[in-house]
Structure 1
Amino acid sequence: MHILKTLLLFLALLGCGGYWFVSQPQMDPLMTEARKKKIEASPHYVNGQFVPEHPHGEIKVGMGFWKEFLFPTPGKTIPKDAMLHEKTDLKSLPPDEDVVVWMGHSSFYMQLHGKKILIDPVAAEYASPVPFVDKAMDGSNVYGPEDIPDDIDVMVLSHDHWDHLDYDFVRAIEPKVHHVVTGLGNGGYYEKWGYPLSKIHEEDWWTPVKIDEGLTVWFLPSRHFSGRMLHRNQTLYGSFAFITPGRKVYYTGDGGYDDRFEKIGEKFGGFDLALIEDGQYNKSWPTVHMMPKESAKAGEDLRAAAVIPCHNGKYPLSDHSWKEPYERITAAAEGKPYTLLTPEIGEKVDIGKPDPNLRHWWEEME
């Protein structure tokens, strides 16, 4: 009887702990009736979930992946050295400069036509709801909320995965942010975390959001999935085009390769710069993330003048070597009609007149 009581107490404590864990505010978005109706009205919400235009194939993950995912190997999936970086002071950049600064992984600070833009800002030590899983590489967490300038005109969120949506970062910068543009359902995170509805723009694919006369942000398709814990594909993932009178920039977000890049390139007549996913790919999930050869082809499809690869250099989310995305896209981009740019974390790149002589910094690391 004593053993049974002990077991029941243990199970009760385990259940309470599990309930507390999944009930934390960073887990799921606030789903109001108005938000649900908007989601259910989307043509991309089918049989209770969002689906990409080109469905995913079956995903099988082997033991090799799990070994590296849980216990990354220094010198293989994570570097032995700290990530090289050059920390640009974002607050001191002249406001009339059209520039972009890679903040690591898929996070960017950008200035266009005098507007300040944040893309998927993340500074979490772990890209996971569970501590000690998906730890940021040493030296990759260069920027935090305190480094972000005041008066951010717009912050965008491509999707709600932990390596793109940072609870602490997003909450800390709320007073600085004027507008948030994201996919259907994702506004529930921002509303739940203290953002007024007046700041939040939740959109379906192929929708423009006019920030003012100088900037329109388009929410565009992707081929990915969403969900932070228990509920998958209840929020819409996507990509973005930033259109000003003088510049056009595209950000892929996450997603496997398909014909959307050609359609987007044709609709917008090309881009001055494309920020393209290149990393955390795997042959086991070819429709979820692009292989480097596909990332290089996407830049061509988009009619980009310059390409910066991202989704690398911070979190080890696959079992390829940490250097491999840079090495493979450098080779794949040879002969392409654009300039491949590979800045260090924190290194400023001028949009429209980029320096093509950025060094291969990863070759200086182990």
Structure 2
Amino acid sequence: MHVLKVLLALVVLLGCGGYWFVSQPQMDPLITEARKKKIEASPHYVNGEFVPEHPHESISVPLSFWKEFLFPGPGKTIPKDVMVHEKTDLKSLPPDEDVVVWMGHSSFYMQLHGKKILIDPVAAEYASPVPFVDKAMEGSNVYSALDIPDDIDVMVLSHDHWDHLDYDFVRAIEPKVHHVVTGLGNGGYYEKWGYPLSKIHEEDWWTPVEIDKDLTVWFLPSRHFSGRLLHRNQTLYGSFAFITSDRKVYYTGDGGYDDRFEKIGEKFGGFDLALIEDGQYNKYWPTVHMMPEESARAGDDLHALAVIPYHNGKYPLSTHSWKEPYERMAAATEGRPYEFLTPVIGEKVDIGKPDPSLRHWWEEME
């Protein structure tokens, strides 16, 4: 009887702990009736979930894969050296400069036509809900919420995965952010975390959001998936075009290769700069992330004048070596009509100005 009581107590404790864990505010968005109606009205919400325009390939993942994936080792998926980085003072940048600063992984700070823009800002130590999986590489966490300038005109969120949506960061910068643009359902995170509805723009694909007369942000398709823990594909993932009178910049978000890049390139007549996903790919999820050669091809499809790769250099979310995305994409971009730009984390890049000084910094590291 005593043993049964102990077992019952353990079950209750585990159950309570599990309930507490999944009930934390960072886990799921607030889905109000109004938000639910907008989600269900989308033509991309099919049989209870959002689906990409081109279905994903279904490939089984062997058990042997998970050990290397969950517990990466130094020298392969994690560099032995401290990640090369700089730290541009974002607050001191002249506001009339068109610049972009890679903040690591998929995060960018950008200035266009006098507007301040944040893209998927993340400063979390772990790209996971638990503090022992997907730890940030040493030297890659350069920026915090304190480094973000005041008066951010717009912050965008491509999708709700842990390596793109940072609960602590997002909450800390709320007073600085004037507008949030994201996909259907994702506004439920921001509302739940203290953002007024007046700041939140939740959109379906191919929708423009006019921030003001000088900047329009388009929410565009992607070929990915969403969900932070238990509920998958209940929020819409996507990409973004930032359009001003004199600049056009595209951010791919996450997602496998398809013909959307050609469609987007044609619609907008090309881009001054394309920020293109390159990393965390795997043969077991070939349609969820692009291979580097596909990322290079996407730059052509988009008619980009310059390309910056991202989705690497911070979190080890696949089993390829940490520098392989750069090596393969650098090789694949040779001879292409755009400039391949490879800033280190925190390095400023002037949009529309060729910069041959950017080096293959990953070759300097082990």
After superposition, give the CA deviation of every residue in 1:156-191 in whole Å (9 maximum; x if it has no partner).
000000000000000000000000000000000000
Q: Deviations over 1:93-127 (max 9, x none)?
A: 00000000000000000000000000000000000
2:214 matched residue in structure 1: 214
Residues 57 and 287 of structure 1 are in contact (CA less than 8 Å); yes or no, is this contact kept in structure 2? yes
Q: Is the contact made by 1:128 and 1:162 (CA closer than 8 Å) also made in structure 2?
A: yes
In structure 1, the residue matched to 2:198 is 198
Once residues 196 and 224 of structure 2 are traced to their aligned partners in structure 1, the CA distance between those partners, rounded to angstroms, is: 28
The residue number in structure 2 matching 1:149 is 149
Q: C-alpha displacement at 1:65, in angstroms?
A: 3.4
Q: How many angstroms apart in 2 are the aligned matches of 1:331 and 1:209? A: 37
Structure 2 residue aligned with 1:275 = 275
2:119 is the counterpart of 1:119:
yes
Amino acid at match of 1:210: E
Question: 1:35-55 deviations in whole A, cap 9, x for unaligned?
Answer: 000000000000000000000
Partner Cα distance (1:274, 1:59) in 2 = 30
Alignment of 1:194-343 (within 5 A): 194-343=194-343
The 8 Å contact of residues 68 and 77 in structure 1, kept in 2 or not, is answered as no
Secondary structure of 2:169's aligned partner: helix
- Structure 1 distance, partners of 2:227, 2:104, is 22
Distance 2:252 2:62 in 1: 27
How far does residue 68 in structure 1 lie from its aligned partner after superposition?
A: 2.3
Q: Distance in 2 between matches of 1:63 and 1:277?
A: 27
How many residue pairs get matched?
366
The letter for the 2-side match of 1:324 is E
SS of the equivalent of 1:102 reads: strand
Aligned to 1:21: 21
Are the equivalent residues in 2 in contact too, given 1:151–1:177 (CA < 8 A)?
yes
Describe the shift of the 1:63–1:356 C-alpha distance in structure 2 as closer, same or farther (beyond 3 A). Answer: farther
The CA distance in 2 between the partners of 1:184 and 1:354, in whole Å, is 37
Q: Distance in 2 between the 1:325 and 1:62 partners?
A: 23
Please state how far the C-alpha of 1:60 moved relative to its aligned partner: 2.4
> In structure 2, what residue type is equivalent to 1:253?
G
Once the two structures are TM-superposed, the CA of residue 64 in structure 1 deviates from its matched residue by 4.8
The residue aligned with 2:180 is 180
Match of 1:40, SS? helix
- Identity between Structure 1 and Structure 2 (%): 88
How many Å separate the matches in 2 of 1:229 and 1:59?
Answer: 21
- After the TM superposition, which of the residue ranges 349-358 and 77-86 deviates more from structure 2? 349-358
Q: Distance in 2 between matches of 1:194 and 1:73?
A: 38
What secondary structure, in the 3-state scheme, does the structure 1 residue paired with 2:103 have?
A: strand
One-letter code aligned to 1:295: S
1:8 aligns with 2:15: no
Extract unaligned runs of 5+ from structure 2: none
Where do 1:94-109 residues align within 5 Å? 94-109=94-109
Output the amino acid matched with 2:95: P
Secondary structure in 2 aligned to 1:275?
A: strand
- Structure 2 residue identity aligned to 1:341: L
Deviations 1:6-47 (A, max 9, x none): 101100000000000000000000000000000000000000
Question: TM-score, normalization: structure 2?
Answer: 0.99
SS of equivalent to 2:211: strand
The 2-side partners of 1:313 and 1:136 are apart by 9
Structure 1 contact 64–319 (Cα < 8 Å) conserved:
no
Deviation (angstroms), 1:73: 1.3
Match of 2:168 in 1: 168
3-state SS in 2 of match to 1:274: strand
SS of the equivalent of 1:117 reads strand
Contact residue 76 and residue 320 of structure 1 kept, 8 A: yes
How much has 1:130 moved relative to structure 2? 1.1
Partner SS state of residue 10, structure 1: helix
Q: 2:96 is matched by which residue type in structure 1?
A: D
SS of the counterpart of 1:357? coil
Distance (Å, rounded) in 2 between the aligned partners of 1:113 and 1:123: 26
- Give 1:61 shift: 2.3
Q: CA deviation at 1:354?
A: 3.0
Secondary structure at 2:320's aligned position in 1?
A: coil
CA deviation profile, 1:205-228 (whole Å, cap 9, x unmatched):
000000001000000000000000
Deviation at 1:66, TM superposition (A): 1.6
SS at match of 1:271: coil
SS in 2 for 1:100: strand
CA contact (8 A) 1:186 1:202 kept: yes
Instruction: Specify the alignment match of 2:54 in structure 1.
Output: 54
**Amino acid in the other structure paired with 2:61:** V
Give the alignment's TM-score, normalised by structure 1: 0.99
Structure 2 counterpart SS, 1:156: strand
Q: Is the 8 A contact 1:339 1:356 kept in 2?
A: no
